[in-house]
Homo-oligomer: A and B are copies of this chain.
Amino acid sequence: MADIESQIKILKDLIPKFLPGHSVDCVIFGYEDKELKVLLLNWKQMDIWALPGGFIFKDESMDDAAQRVLEERTGLSSIFLKQFHTFGKIQRSDHSQQEHHKKIMALMKPSKQDRKIVIDWFDHRFITTGYFALTDIRKATPRPDFLSEKCEWKSVSELPELIIDHAEIIQQAMHQLKIQLNYLPIGISLLPEKFTMIDLQKLYEAILGRPLERSNFQRKILKLGFLDRHEKLMSGAANKAPYLYSFNSTKYEELLEEGIGFRY
């Protein structure tokens, strides 16, 4: 546990540099095996999971703090990251009675003085701003932080037990993702560079949680004009092979400007 103790010392020195009372939490979505997944951290010696999150340095913008957390946990930078809601209930940080909070405090085992600083910090009421990110799961390299031993993709349809209000934060992120999908094809960043129309439809179905009518979906998506068509994906008979598409970011930016979307 030497590594934890030294990390606690680092944390103790960092605390005065953080803005008090405010944190960021990132709901990092990925897509794999036709399932929408979210990146979670498993706290050491505990069967409880948490969203990757962090604090905001006094000389750092809130958006930069979220970007930093995302980068630290996935190794990915400059990917779609969007603030979606700020959680400000009184009770949300009241975890003093919770078993996992006691355990994590015991786990830290810092010196008496360090301990006071760190415990005072974590016992504080925090307002947290949730961000969601959409990542290509194949490009991300999940990395645990110093408090956790695992960092894994978990299916949103089968989430494990989560600390404080993190289940609610994920639920809200899902809600926002669905709403925004009605406007812009943001989900596309979850796919590899080239994909078939059926890949795209499956992704949308995973996000929306309901089946979509194939020809209708294809017609609407193509009408928006943000897809470039490429060669066919050859795996069987040429006449049945589906076309591959890629995302045209220039057109996408135009759509973003216009705020134009469509409904399914």
Chain A residues within CB distance 8 Å of chain B = 19-22, 56, 58-63, 65, 83, 85-86, 88-90, 125, 127, 129, 178-179, 182-183, 259, 261, 263
Contact = CB atoms under 8 A, between A and B. Distances in A.
A261 B264 CA distance: 11
Contact of A22 (B22, B63, B85, B178): B22
A20 B19 CA distance: 9
A178 B259 CA distance: 9
B88 A63 contact: yes
A122 to B, nearest CB: 16
A19 B19 contact: no
A259 B174 CA distance: 13
Given A179-B259, A259-B178, A60 B90 contact: yes
Nearest to A128: B86
**Copies of this protein in the complex:** 2
13 contacts: A19-B125, A19-B127, A22-B127, A56-B127, A59-B90, A61-B88, A62-B86, A63-B89, A83-B86, A86-B129, A178-B259, A179-B183, A182-B183
A88 B65 CA distance: 10
Contacts of A127: 19, 22, 56, 62, 129
Contacts of A263: 261, 263
Contact of A88 (B56, B90, B182, B259): B56
A6 to B, nearest CB: 29
Contacts of A63: 88-89
Contacts of A62: 86, 88-89, 127
Given A62-B89, A63-B89, A83-B86, 18 more contacts: A19-B21, A19-B125, A19-B127, A20-B20, A21-B21, A22-B22, A22-B88, A58-B125, A59-B90, A61-B88, A62-B127, A63-B88, A65-B88, A83-B85, A88-B129, A178-B259, A179-B183, A182-B183
A183 B59 CA distance: 38
A60 B182 CA distance: 34
